[in-house]
Structure 1
Amino acid sequence: MLRKTLAALAISFSFAAVVQAAPVAYTIDSAHTDTLFSWNHFGFSNPSANFNNIKGTINFDSAAPANSSVDVTIAVGSVISYVAKLDDELKGDKFLDAGKFPNITFKSTKVEGAAGQNHFKVSGDLTVHGVTKPVVLDATLNKAGEHPMSKAQTVGFNATTTIKRADFGVGAYVPNVSDEIKINITTEASVPKA
């Protein structure tokens, strides 16, 4: 009887260890990550711009998504709209003020989603222009597995959210240039090789 009890306990502990596995830390691949943001311009068009210097870590636990987390830093000076004058304006003191506030950051506070599912709500603190506000990202896991080129374990996500730029002290030209900013993110992140 004692042997059966000990065996059952051993199996339970083994199962618990598997279920409570730590999240895997993936490093964001800036070359395959876009943070595209768009706005409405006087009702005529919906221009967009992107950042191309994005660094950070995605800690992802597919078995227990609540154990996951995201920590990202975006260099404001890397903004690119493919219109030089607009790039300068976005980096200037009327908008993002890269000289005074060189980085945008996002640090998750909660990840919600079911094990084995591909859709998650990622709540966190977004800091723009020195102001921190809570936001929620609607995230989708595109794929997880070995990358065919690098052979590294890799995950890919898309995420969307909408913010009001005036909430972050970046309200120039509202309402002619919309306060509402739509953000679309796509990213690949891999486990660094030893």
Structure 2
Amino acid sequence: MKKPILALALATSAGLAVTSFSAHGQGQVPGAVDASRVAAGTYALDPAHTLVQWSVSHFGFNDYFGLFGDIEGTMSFDPSDIEASSFDISIPITSVAVPSEGLRDHLLRPGKDGAEPDFFGPDPEAARFVSTSVRRVGDTSAVVTGQLTMNGNTGPVTMLVDFTGAGQNPMNEARTVGFHARATIDRTQWGIDYLAPVVGSEVNLDISAAFELQ
């Protein structure tokens, strides 16, 4: 069984940081919020450093968190024409990581006695987000709208995206651009209505993404 995504991400990040400082002998941060560092072109997601965190209300008591990893996708980006940018992102549902192994099994188990599964089922297709518009709303932020296909249903999603840094990755010398995005969806619109609204219908998405120039 795969290690939990969160533990693997933390271990990988720590190992890379140690290696990077040992190799370069400097503590200079290679990335900065500087648009002049961003080149136009086609970028691919760095799946080792891209995560989607989701949270949902637990019976109205508190928020429960989980993660998706192993995310793939592309971005077409031109800093001189932000609104011409586009995104095509694939999120493998089977990568879901939560603290409770029992909950993870429930998210991915088949329905009982031939019924529909409560959540995704044992062999879910990857979720896919394809942008339809990008609108600049600040010096380093934009609103990205697109269509999310998940669980056999497709619907609109709008997210606020902030530019968080650009520069050359010291590990592989790739020209890298980072973003932080936030969105809220209603899971019932994608056919995931188990225990809604007792377990919250609204799902908050918090996305950290790194793209590498191809």
1-structure distance, mates of 2:93, 2:192: 13
Q: Letter of the 1:96 partner, please give it.
A: F
Matched, 1:140 2:171: no
Alignment counterpart, residue 25 of structure 1, candidates 42, 50, 55: 42
2:109 is the counterpart of 1:109:
no
For residues 112-156 of structure 1, give each alpha carbon's deviation from its aligned partner in whole angstroms, at most 9, with x where no partner exists. Answer: 116x82101111000111100011110001012222332111100
Contact 2:58 2:199 in 1 (8 A): yes
Is the Cα contact below 8 Å between 1:74 and 1:105 reproduced in 2? Answer: yes
Q: Which amino acid aligns with 1:189?
A: F
From 53, 56, 59, the counterpart of 1:39: 56
TM-score, normalisation: structure 1: 0.83
Which residue identity lines up with residue 89 of structure 1 in the other structure? Answer: H
Task: Quote the sequence identity (%).
Answer: 34
> Partners in 1 of 2:191 and 2:122 — Cα distance?
14
SS at match of 1:38: strand
- Could you tell me which residue of structure 1 aligns to residue 73 of structure 2? 56
* 1:173–1:48 Cα change, 3 Å: same
Letter in 1 for 2:189: D
Is this contact kept in 1: 2:144–2:158, CA < 8 A? Answer: yes
**Shift in CA distance, 147/76, structure 1 to aligned 2, threshold 3 Å:** same
User: How much does 1:30 deviate?
Assistant: 0.9
Q: Displacement, 1:97?
A: 2.4
Does the Cα contact within 8 Å between 1:128 and 1:168 map onto a contact in 2? Answer: yes
* Residue 120 of structure 1, aligned match among 136, 142, 146: 142
1:1-194 equivalences under 5 Å are 23-92=40-109, 93-99=117-123, 101-113=124-136, 117-192=139-214
Q: How far is the alpha carbon of 1:29 from its aligned partner?
A: 0.7
2-structure distance, mates of 1:117, 1:166: 35
TM-score by length of 2: 0.75
Partner of 1:9: none
Give every structure 1 segment of 4 or more consecutive aligned residues whose post-TM-superposition deviation is greater than 6 Å.
none
- Separation in 2, partners of 1:186, 1:169: 26
Say which SS state the counterpart of residue 40 (structure 1) adopts: strand
Structure 1 counterpart SS, 2:57: coil
Task: State the aligned residue count.
Answer: 169
Q: Which has the larger radius of gyration?
A: 1
Deviation of the 1:177 alpha carbon: 0.2
**Deviation of 1:37 (Å):** 0.4
Report the residue type matching 1:123 in the other structure.
T
Q: What secondary structure does 1:47 align onto? A: strand
